[in-house]
Amino acid sequence: MADLFHRQAKHYAESRPSYPEELFEFIASKTPNHDLVWDAGTGSGQAAKSLAKLYKNVVGTDTSQEQLDHAPKLPNVRYQCTPPNIPISELESIVAPPGTVDLVTIAAALHWFDLPTFYQQVKQVLKKPHGVIAAWTYTVPEANDNIPLVNEKFDAVFRQFCADSQPYWDPAIKLVEDKYKGIDFPFEPVGYGANHTGPFEFTTERVMDLEGFLLFIRSCSFYQTAKERGVELLRDDVVESFKRAWSEDGGDRKVVKSEVPTMRVVVDGFDGGDGGEAAAVFRRDRGERFLVLWFDLELDLALTGCKVC
């Protein structure tokens, strides 16, 4: 998995959407203490930099040193390049001692993990009680006839591009398309501590020109996979089609609005609903308990046709 991202680490750091600060404030409100976060699969630190404002210390781990090299350097954030599966015996020295982590976050990366091993690691480091694991991802929703995400011509070009790129999508991306509903999550629900009904909405905006949009595509794993197979998805004729469509309604720069309209609690296939409680208590063996947040974030990137991850 690291190979998919390290070659385009610079593109990834420059083009990926930032998450709204309200999201992190919401997550932080669910942990009684704010001492230590483990941001697993931190990449180039998109989540870590926001978590650093709310917690005393953040440990960001990733399998790609190239990604970490582009992460923001902050005094209370420690980045660590790790093997794909951190041995339990090394977890204390790499991440933290057992039972000392307030929050484990996985921002748009859980689908790449060896989940049984990772969950064992999470169980080892989280505080009990009141430790929290928060996982979220984002998708690019399809355009509809009433709300073109850029303009009608651009939507058509991008829709065709997405169709052409499908053979190069990793099977793990199917978990993102399914909004993590089919992902393994071996915790048993014991009820809700409901104090907030939602729906929860987060919005962020970004001004982007066409080059920024193309940079986003180049940061995607499917683009790198195609390149490795000798296929250039952004051929000159494709880029030219994007250029013509982008300028169809005038202006070089567009406002890209990212919306997070829903959150769902998902445990072993149980869906708490669009407006359901966003924090639930789960019990593991031997009566160990900790809180779990399970976020399904749909970020509208003013793109259309397919979900780009």
Please indicate, yes or no, if residue 305 is contained in any of the structural domains: no
Separation in Å, CA 137 to CA 19, 225, 271, 306:
10, 21, 16, 15
Which domain CATH number covers 129?
Answer: 3.40.50.150
Pairing of strands 36-40, 103-107: parallel
Q: 118: how many CB neighbours lie within 10 A of its CB?
A: 20
Neighbours of 146 (CB within 10 A): 5
| Higher-scoring residue by pLDDT: 274, 173 | 173
Query: What is the reported pLDDT for 99?
Result: 95
Residue 37 domain boundaries:
2-294
Q: Is residue 306 part of a domain?
A: no
- pTM, full prediction: 0.69
Question: With contact defined as beta carbons under 8 Å apart, do 222 and 169 qualify?
Answer: yes
Burial of 177 (0-12, 13-18, 19+ CB in 10 A): middle
Give domain status of residue 149, yes or no: yes
Structural domain contains residue 241 = yes
With a cut of 70, say whether residue 169 has pLDDT above it: yes
Q: What's the mean per-residue pLDDT of the chain?
A: 72
132 burial level (CB within 10 Å; 0-12, 13-18, 19+): buried
The answer to whether residue 301 sits within a structural domain is: no
Q: How many residues does the structure list for the chain?
A: 309
Task: Kindly give the residue spans of alpha helices, DSSP state H, lying in the chain.
Answer: 2-6, 9-15, 21-28, 48-51, 65-69, 88-94, 115-125, 152-165, 173-177, 210-218, 221-228, 236-246
Number of domains in the chain: 1
The 10s digit of each residue's pLDDT in 198-250 is 334 455 556 678 888 888 788 788 898 999 999 999 999 999 999 999 888 77
> Higher pLDDT residue, 258 or 251?
251
